[in-house]
């Protein structure tokens, strides 16, 4: 059971299902107990809080007891056993909820953890996770109740302190340009918080706004004096003096800004549950190989259980400081299937998912021009990155790994790869490092040799973990040494055996092992000796388990990369294990090193070591349970996906994304089982339910492949579900360039009675895809149809999504009035629903409108809102877009240092993602800033690559802007002929977009070329036409963007005189932009 107080009060069952707490007084009771944080609240206090200020019931104590019973019943109905959370004492009641189940306690734990971290990146990430738990003001729906006032004030102070610490960590990362806007708003809201103001002052100083930093200090001094009669602290006084003398220590010292925002992790390495023992020399040797410039591929080989994975993770732990883009571990044990080989494409998609490289919508989104293959997209995204990639358990997909690694090594010169496998990749330049077993003492060795033996060290460490009284001495030493020799120094075998020391003792353990091995090894004579030893050890460990423990292991073995407690309970039933036994059984199996408990996910997970999983799967086959377990597994994960589907459209979106992230391998295994057994219906249900998850995570290739697999299954399924799947497939195909934009739309016959929410959302998604590819007319037709369906179904999310897409279509057409109406309504709906993705997309469109209307403060606020959302959802291309948006506002405000920092961060992040359109957006900002500062060569350098890129794709919107900027560069250099040619090309591209504002920009550029060439009247006419066109479009040129027009107008006005210029300008105003454009093109064709 989980409780939320950081926002409106909410209660959720363990799996995330909302729990309804009926009746206002019962909710007040729950809020009161939560506000007191596990402490006993007296009966009198509770009575006063529930009925104070109103008429007391006749029997207050009895009425309170009735409310307590109602609360207990509501909790118990939601989750058996939860009624026990409400504890009665002689003085009153308390809610004894574990800390991890209350969001306020989780917030505090994360903040405390952040304070123990030295790395500012890790600190910022942890604090962001803590702050993301806040859904609004604490106890928002009880804010006026006296009993929560103290708790609310305490939590708000803790939140603001965490905000300050988060900003300080990001400042330490050099992200001053990213936090200025948010800090300014916070300082305005909390003007007397010195720590907040100090962070703001440092950020302002670093982007060249020292006068504003000093003004902020002066405002604080004034407020403290007027409101409190105090003076600023010595710390902020010292900061003011440092700013006045321009102290160099205030500046960030890194040469260039980092690509990723501070909270983004640079590694996904797991925290080791136990220290690595006896491998110090091996770790040093492998690290030396990795550091050598000519060893870009190192492969650790060896049999199962020898410790390849542990050695690999221990070796790279701490190396992230040596690789600018970090160290990343990709687990491959859960990929592939015995019946279908995994190709390079699915493998590349898996690696991209781990690295956070998204497959974004839109044509030509990736560096890998000319193809949409996932491997090429991955290689393009990694082309300039400096990282260490660890591919673990490659033997499952060895051919695909070899092909992908070969491609990456050829195309990513700064990439290094460490792999673990039972066989080498057999690639040129590969360094193979066989992992040896741990060292064992010789038969006649003494105590000193025992202590030096790494195998003995591991055995003793694991034995003392389960039996603290165990010691290595003259009595136990000989048996331990012999056990280590008998187990060939294989780490997994040693760990399994050591867990039995407490029950058997060393001598009896050796005796049991020896007897058992004589019987068991005969069954493994075809295997290598060390593999015989491991198999025999696992078999021996299995024989000591109870039937319930064996059954639970068989149920766990069907999962890929582990499962939750709930899944273990459900599948354990197949083997006769009751739900109430599972948790205790799991704890015993964890103690015996047969199961690993994994933290770091929304709920704890349990997984088997690979060798143990393979053994348990064999036992499952022999027990005749394999088919039933596979079916139960399929049904469980179809149910989970369908339960998660609606939650991906609301306030719990982020949490459910993390839940589904953890189950990716299980979803793949479930879909493969449906394909193998011809179960079309569950396969289609699974694919339909997960498509939005895959889209949000940028895993479009995986989604398309899964949908194709489900649709290809020849089995019974309702036609409505198939039709929905076909529509999703079409939309995904469009986004990935697999389908043509002229595909048939809405041609499948539909009965209104068969219309479902899922089908309507798939139809909308198709409209979204059409818009993404620039098919505006087709997209508009499709989205209007979807909007009508949503309204008929009363689907609030669908209505918001359709309105948001209509706003984007209006923006592409230049229809600002339609943009405003649709985007505003969409933003309201998405905010009410709590859908962060929807709020982000609506804010993105509204920020464009605000910028067009020169409302830069509103535009910056919307960009900052979008930045927070994009970071929390790990939408890195969207993070880049919002950074560029903030950079553009800084540019228009002539804060060029800040603008360049923001645009460069955005560019690096987009390049890291391999997202070329977003990278272009950022680099255009750098070009604009350079030209405004007179750095024409720099501006041209930024622009030229994008001209060719847009021309190749027929991307006229981007091409028109690039050509306009190049034309202005030529004009400012004084090259009239080049300027005229470039602006004529710009005019052609602008007319192709159908956007009147783009045509107006081209006409302004042509006016500049004509004025430079002495054709001043013609220039004035074009300026008049452009001005009237912008006004008719509802977007007159703001003051901050009038620099080019004013320069050109001044030249023409000085040549013509005021009267002649005004007359020509007025004549242009009366001319339609289409007529003016045609006249210019005709004149150019005639050579005039």
Is pLDDT of 874 > 90?
A: no
Query: How far apart, in whole angstroms, are the C-alpha atoms of residue 935 and residue 73?
Result: 72
Among 150, 172, 194, the domain-final residue is 172
d(CA 567, CA 506): 37
CB atoms near residue 384 (< 10 Å): 17
318 and 403 within one domain: yes
Residues 156 and 11 in one domain: yes
Tens of pLDDT, residue by residue over 654-666, are 889 999 999 999 9
* Residue 976 lies inside a defined structural domain of this protein: yes
Provide the token pair at 1088. Answer: 């005039």
pLDDT at 790: 95
pLDDT tens track for 392-407: 999 889 999 999 999 9
Q: Tens digit of pLDDT for each residue in 412-441? A: 999 999 999 999 999 999 999 999 999 999
- pLDDT score for 985: 96
Per-residue pLDDT tens for 763-811?
Answer: 999 999 998 887 888 999 999 999 999 999 999 999 999 999 999 999 8
At residue 191, the 3 state secondary structure works out as coil
Find tokens 């045609």 and name the residue: 1078
Contact yes or no for 724/757 (Cβ under 8 A): no
Mean pLDDT throughout 713-737?
A: 93
* C-beta atoms surrounding 558 within 10 Å: 28
**Burial of 524 by CB count in 10 Å (0-12 exposed, 13-18 middle, 19+ buried)?**
middle
Question: Tell me: the pLDDT tens digits for 658-689?
Answer: 999 999 999 999 999 999 999 999 999 999 99
The answer to whether 361 and 334 have CB atoms below 8 angstroms apart is no
- Asked whether residue 470 carries a pLDDT value surpassing 70, the answer given is yes
Q: Which of 805, 838, 807, 839 is nearest to 823 (CA)?
A: 807
Mean pLDDT of 574-598: 87
Q: Is residue 859 part of a domain?
A: no
Number of domains within the chain:
5
Residue with tokens 């506000």: 35
Tokens of 993: 């977009």
Q: Are residues 4 and 134 in the same domain?
A: yes
pLDDT at 721 (0 to 100): 95
β partners of residue 416? 388
Tell me, yes or no, whether 820 lies in a domain. no
CA–CA dist 607, 534 (Å, integer): 19
- Sheet architecture: strand order including 563-564: 563-564, 605-608, 595-598
> Residue 724 CA to chain centroid, in angstroms?
27
Token code pair at residue 227:
């409101």
User: Are 778 and 740 within 8 A, CB to CB?
Assistant: no
Q: State whether 295 and 361 are in the same domain.
A: yes
Task: Round to whole Å and give the CA distance between 987 and 961.
Answer: 10
pLDDT, mean of residues 854-883: 91
- Residue located via tokens 């990213």: 178
- Nearest alpha carbon to residue 1005 among 968, 961, 1053: 968
Least confident range of 218-222, 551-555, 616-620, 770-774: 770-774
Q: Are residues 157 and 67 in the same domain?
A: yes
Cα distance between residue 1018 and residue 1061, in whole Å: 10
- pLDDT band for position 358 (cuts 50, 70, 90): confident
How far apart, in whole angstroms, are the C-alpha atoms of residue 667 and residue 635?
11
Residue 1034 confidence (pLDDT): 81
Within this chain, do residues 145 and 196 fall inside the same structural domain, yes or no? no
φ/ψ region of 794 (left if φ > 0, alpha if ψ in -120 to 50, else beta) reads: left
Q: How many CB atoms lie within 10 A of CB 393?
A: 21
> Helix count (H) and strand count (E) of the chain?
48, 13
Distance, in Å, from the CA atom of 568 to the CA atom of 605, rounded to the nearest integer, reads: 9
Residue 86: burial class (beta carbons within 10 Å; 0-12, 13-18, 19+): buried
The residue behind tokens 């007179």 is: 934
- The string of DSSP codes covering 784-813 is HHHHHHHHHHT-HHHHHHHHHHHHHHHHHH
Please identify which residue in the block is written with the tokens 């040596």: 322
Residue 887 and residue 868 in contact, taking contact as beta carbons nearer than 8 Å: no
Q: For position 257, what pLDDT does the model report?
A: 43
Assess contact for 929 and 891: CB atoms under 8 A: yes
pLDDT, tens digit (0-9, with 9 covering 90-100), for 53-102: 677 888 989 999 999 999 999 999 888 888 999 999 888 999 998 888 89
- Shared domain for 236 and 113, answered yes or no, is no
Cβ(836)–Cβ(220) under 8 Å?
Answer: no
The answer on 367 and 228 residing in a single domain is: no
Q: How many residues does the chain have?
A: 1088
Same domain, 968 and 1057: yes
**Dist CA 72 CA 1 (whole Å):** 12
CB 456 within 8 A of CB 441: yes
- φ/ψ of 665, rounded to 5, equals -65, -35
Residue 1003 has pLDDT above 90, yes or no: yes
Query: In this structure, are residues 552 and 577 in contact, taking their beta carbons and an 8 Å threshold?
Result: yes
Kindly state the average pLDDT of the residues 898-916: 90
Q: Can you read off the two tokens belonging to residue 647?
A: 């939650």
Estimate the crossing angle of helix 547-557 against helix 610-623, to 10 degrees.
110
Which uninterrupted H or E stretch holds 432? strand 430-434
> Which one-letter DSSP state was computed for residue 504?
H
Task: Identify the pLDDT of residue 521.
Answer: 47
Q: How far apart are CA 768 and CA 700, in angstroms?
A: 14
Percent of the chain predicted with pLDDT > 70: 93
Q: Higher-confidence residue: 578 or 522?
A: 578
What gap in Å lies between CA 91 and CA 543, rounded to an integer?
Answer: 53
Q: What distance in Å separates the CA atoms of residue 1002 and residue 991, rounded to the nearest whole number?
A: 9
pLDDT tens-digit map of 971-985 = 999 999 999 999 999
Residues 247-275 pLDDT 10s: 988 887 654 444 444 456 678 887 655 67
Provide the pLDDT for residue 689: 97
* 124 occurs within a structural domain: yes
Query: 622-640 pLDDT, tens per residue?
Result: 989 999 999 999 999 999 9
How confident is the model at residue 681, as a pLDDT? 97
Q: Is a pLDDT exceeding 80 seen at residue 523?
A: no
Residue 207: pLDDT above 70?
A: yes
> Is residue 721 a part of any domain in this protein?
no
Pairing relation of β-strands 595-598 and 86-88? unpaired
Q: Do residue 1034 and residue 1050 come from a single domain?
A: yes
Closest CA to 556 of 499, 631, 633, 492: 633
Q: Provide the mean pLDDT of the chain.
A: 89
Residue closest to 435 by CA, chosen among 335, 256, 585, 313: 313
Residue 535 lies in a domain: yes
Q: Is residue 195 part of a domain?
A: yes
Bridging pattern class, strands 327-331 and 388-392: parallel
> What is the average per-residue pLDDT within 1028-1056?
92
Beta bridge partners of 297: 417, 430
Among candidate residues 130, 145, 172, the one where a domain is terminated: 172
Q: Are 560 and 668 in contact (CB under 8 A)?
A: yes
Average pLDDT over every residue of 514-539: 61
User: Which is it for the CA torsion 292, 295, 297, 298, positive or negative?
Assistant: negative
Q: What angle do CA 1068, 1069, 1074 make, to 5 degrees?
A: 75
pLDDT at residue number 516: 60
Q: Encode pLDDT of 702-711 as tens digits.
A: 999 999 999 9
Q: Measured between alpha carbons, how far is 835 from 545 in angstroms, rounded to an integer?
A: 48
Is 129 a domain residue?
yes
Q: Among positive and negative, which fits the CA dihedral 872, 874, 876, 878?
A: negative
Question: Does pLDDT of 321 surpass 60?
Answer: yes
The tens digit of pLDDT for each residue in 122-143 reads: 888 889 889 988 988 999 999 8
Does position 341 have pLDDT exceeding 70, yes or no? Answer: no
* Same domain? 159 vs 47: yes
Quick one: DSSP state of residue 327? E
Whether residue 737 is predicted with pLDDT greater than 90 in this model: the reply is: no
Which range marks the domain in which residue 975 is found? 940-1088
Cβ-contact 557, 608 below 8 angstroms: yes
Q: What pTM was estimated for this model as a whole?
A: 0.81
Residue 459 pLDDT: 94
CA distance 20 to 24: 11
pLDDT, position 816: 85
Residues 10 and 156 reside in one and the same domain: yes
Contact 565, 604 (CB under 8 A): yes
Residue pair 237/214 in contact by the 8 Å Cβ criterion: no
Structure tokens at 5: 């107080």
Given 434, 466, 488, the domain boundary residue is 434
What is the C-alpha to C-alpha distance for residues 1047 and 984, in angstroms, rounded to an integer? Answer: 20
Instruction: Provide the pLDDT for residue 541.
Output: 85
Contacts for 3 with CB less than 8 Å, ≥ 6 apart: 9, 10, 11, 30, 34, 95, 97, 101, 102, 103
Q: Which residue has the tokens 């079409």?
A: 730
Average pLDDT over residues 470-487: 91
d(C-alpha 421, C-alpha 499), whole Å? 27
How many angstroms separate the CA atoms of 203 and 205, rounded? 5
pLDDT score, position 254:
57
């Amino acid at each position: 059971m989980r409780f939320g107080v950081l926002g409106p009060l909410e209660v959720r069952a363990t799996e995330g299902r909302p729990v309804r707490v009926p009746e206002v007084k019962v909710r007040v009771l729950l809020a009161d107990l939560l506000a007191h944080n596990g402490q006993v609240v007296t009966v009198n206090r509770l009575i006063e809080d529930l009925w104070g200020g109103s008429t007391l019931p006749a029997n207050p104590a009895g009425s309170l007891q009735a409310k307590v019973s109602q609360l207990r019943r509501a909790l118990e109905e939601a989750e058996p056993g939860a009624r026990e959370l409400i504890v009665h004492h002689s003085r009153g009641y308390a809610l004894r909820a574990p800390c991890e189940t209350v969001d306020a306690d989780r917030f505090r734990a994360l903040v405390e953890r952040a304070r123990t971290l030295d790395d500012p990146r890790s600190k910022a990430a942890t604090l962001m996770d803590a702050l993301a738990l806040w859904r609004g003001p604490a106890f928002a729906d009880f804010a006026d109740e006296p009993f929560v006032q103290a708790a609310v004030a305490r939590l708000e102070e803790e939140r603001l302190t965490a905000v300050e610490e988060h900003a300080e960590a990001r400042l330490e990362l050099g992200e001053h340009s990213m936090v200025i806007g948010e800090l300014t708003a916070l300082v305005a809201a909390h003007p007397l918080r010195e720590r907040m103001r100090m962070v703001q002052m440092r950020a302002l100083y670093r982007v060249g706004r020292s006068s504003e930093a000093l003004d902020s200090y002066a405002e604080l001094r004034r407020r403290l004096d007027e409101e409190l009669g105090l003076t600023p602290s010595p710390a902020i006084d010292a900061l003011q003096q440092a700013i006045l003398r321009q102290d160099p220590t205030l500046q960030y010292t890194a040469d260039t800004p980092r690509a990723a925002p501070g909270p983004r992790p640079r590694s996904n390495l797991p925290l080791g549950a136990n220290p690595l023992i006896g491998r110090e020399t091996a770790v040093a040797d492998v690290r030396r190989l990795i550091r050598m410039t000519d060893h870009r591929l190192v492969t650790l080989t060896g049999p199962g259980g020898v410790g390849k994975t542990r050695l690999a993770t221990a070796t790279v732990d701490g190396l992230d400081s040596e690789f600018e883009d970090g160290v990343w571990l990709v687990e491959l044990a859960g990929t592939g299937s015995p019946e279908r080989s995994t190709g390079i494409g699915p493998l590349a998609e898996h690696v991209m998912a781990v690295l956070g490289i998204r497959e974004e919508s839109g044509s030509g989104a990736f560096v890998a021009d000319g193809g949409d293959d996932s491997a090429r997209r991955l290689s393009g995204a990694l082309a300039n990155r400096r990282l260490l990639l660890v591919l673990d358990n490659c033997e499952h997909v060895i051919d695909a790994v070899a092909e992908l690694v070969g491609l990456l090594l050829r195309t990513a010169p700064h990439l290094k790869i460490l792999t673990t496998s039972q066989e080498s990749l057999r690639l040129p330049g590969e360094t193979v490092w066989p992992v040896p077993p741990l060292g064992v003492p010789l038969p006649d060795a003494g105590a000193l040799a025992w202590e030096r033996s790494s195998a003995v060290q591991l055995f003793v460490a694991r034995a003392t973990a389960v039996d603290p009284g165990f010691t290595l001495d003259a009595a136990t030493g000989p048996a331990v040494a012999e056990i280590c020799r008998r187990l060939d120094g294989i780490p997994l075998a040693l760990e399994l055996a050591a867990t039995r020391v407490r029950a058997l003792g060393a001598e009896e353990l050796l005796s049991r092992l020896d007897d058992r091995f004589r019987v068991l090894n005969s069954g493994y004579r075809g295997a290598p000796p060390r593999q015989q030893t491991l198999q025999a050890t696992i078999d021996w460990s299995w024989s000591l388990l109870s039937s319930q423990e064996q059954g639970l292991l068989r149920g766990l073995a069907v999962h890929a990369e582990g499962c939750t407690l709930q899944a273990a309970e459900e599948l354990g039933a197949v083997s006769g294990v009751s739900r109430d036994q599972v948790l205790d059984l799991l704890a015993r199996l964890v103690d015996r090193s047969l199961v690993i408990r994994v933290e770091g996910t929304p709920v704890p997970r349990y997984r088997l070591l690979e060798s143990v999983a393979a053994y348990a799967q064999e036992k499952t086959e022999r027990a005749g349970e394999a088919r039933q377990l596979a079916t139960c597994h399929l049904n469980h994960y179809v149910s989970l996906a369908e339960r998660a589907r609606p939650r991906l459209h609301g306030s719990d979106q982020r949490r459910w994304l993390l839940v589904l992230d953890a189950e990716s391998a299980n979803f793949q295994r479930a879909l493969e089982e449906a394909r193998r057994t011809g179960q079309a219906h569950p396969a289609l249900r699974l694919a339909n339910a997960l498509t939005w998850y895959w889209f949000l995570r940028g895993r479009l290739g995986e989604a398309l492949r899964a949908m194709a697999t489900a649709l290809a299954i020849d089995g019974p399924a309702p036609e409505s579900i198939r039709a929905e799947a076909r529509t999703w497939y079409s939309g995904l195909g469009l986004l990935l360039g697999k389908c043509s934009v002229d595909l048939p739309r809405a041609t499948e016959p539909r009965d209104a009675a068969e219309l479902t929410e899922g089908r309507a959302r798939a139809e909308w998604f198709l409209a979204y895809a059409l818009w993404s590819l620039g098919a505006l007319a087709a997209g508009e037709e499709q989205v209007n149809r979807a909007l009508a369906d949503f309204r008929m179904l009363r689907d609030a999310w669908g209505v918001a999504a359709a309105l948001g897409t209509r706003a984007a279509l209006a923006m592409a057409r230049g229809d600002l009035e339609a943009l405003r109406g649709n985007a505003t309504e969409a933003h309201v709906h998405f905010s009410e629903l709590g859908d962060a993705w929807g709020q982000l997309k609506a804010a993105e469109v509204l920020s464009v409108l605000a910028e067009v209307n020169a409302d830069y403060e509103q535009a910056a606020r919307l960009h900052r809102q979008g930045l927070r959302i994009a970071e929390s959802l790990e939408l890195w291309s969207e993070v880049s877009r919002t950074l560029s948006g903030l950079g553009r506002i800084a540019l228009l405000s002539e804060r060029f240092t800040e603008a360049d920092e923001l645009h460069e961060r955005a560019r690096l992040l987009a390049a890291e993602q391999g997202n070329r359109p977003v990278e272009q957006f950022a680099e255009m900002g750098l070009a604009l800033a350079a030209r405004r500062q007179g750095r024409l060569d720099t501006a041209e350098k930024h622009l030229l690559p994008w001209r060719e890129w847009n021309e190749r794709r027929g991307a006229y919107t981007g091409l028109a802007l690039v050509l306009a900027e190049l034309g202005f560069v030529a004009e400012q250099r004084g090259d009239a002929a080049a300027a005229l040619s470039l602006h004529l090309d710009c005019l052609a591209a602008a007319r192709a977009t159908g956007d009147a504002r783009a045509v107006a920009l081209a006409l302004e550029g042509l006016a500049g070329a004509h004025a430079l060439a002495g054709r001043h009247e013609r220039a004035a006419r074009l300026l008049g036409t452009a001005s009237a066109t912008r006004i008719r479009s509802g977007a007159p040129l703001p003051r901050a963007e009038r620099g080019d027009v004013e320069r050109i107008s001044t030249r023409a006005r000085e040549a013509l005189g005021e009267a002649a210029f005004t007359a020509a300008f007025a004549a242009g105003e009366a001319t339609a932009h289409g007529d003016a454009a045609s006249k210019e093109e005709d004149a150019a064709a005639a050579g005039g």
